[in-house]
Amino acid sequence: MTTPTSPLVARIICIGSVFDPEDAIGLRVHHWLQQQRLAPGVELIDGGIGGLSLLTHLEGCPRVLFIDAVKGFASPGEWVMLSGAEVEALANPCDGHAAGLPYLLRAARLIDVLPPHVDLLGLEAPSAAESIVRAGAHALSLFALETSPSRYPGDSATPVPEPQ
């Protein structure tokens, strides 16, 4: 959460469903990121399955990083970075509200709330705890955020909930 003395610089929005272990990847990264120190002005959001309600988190924000599960972009457990334009290009107008992040970004553009800089850090399912931590650490590095030495991959002191 940002403080009153820290103007909003960016939001990290982790999305996914707790009801589907392969779709809960973003929420597992959120859990790990909650234990880290975020840079001033960076806000961490649990987007869950918020859909179009996430539009309110885009408005007035200069930079947004979404973290979510992806399929068909990498090997299981690996992450990829996609620009907002690349994600938006995946939108299918026939998919309606079930189209996910591509549809959200297209809607944001149409109502003029799309931030100037949007990216997706996508993790290919299934992803083990080590992949979750690596992706979270990469998200931190994008914003020049700090992690304590005890929070690096392989550290047993950093619990990452496994899918149910």
CATH label, 10-151, candidates 1.10.10.350, 3.20.20.140, 3.40.50.1450, 3.40.50.300: 3.40.50.1450
Supply the pLDDT for residue 17. Answer: 92
Domain boundaries, the chain: 10-151
For residue 90 the two structure tokens come to: 């995946």
Per-residue pLDDT band at 27 (split at 50, 70, 90): very high
Residues contacting residue 100 through CB under 8 Å, at least 6 positions apart: 51, 68
What is the per-residue pLDDT across 39-84, written as a single tens digit (0 to 9) for each?
889 999 999 998 899 999 999 999 999 999 998 898 998 999 999 9
Peptide bond connecting 40 to the previous residue in cis, omega within 30 degrees of 0: no
Residue located via tokens 């990498």: 74
Mean pLDDT, to the nearest integer, of 86-106?
A: 77
What is the per-residue pLDDT across 110-130, written as a single tens digit (0 to 9) for each?
999 999 999 999 999 888 888
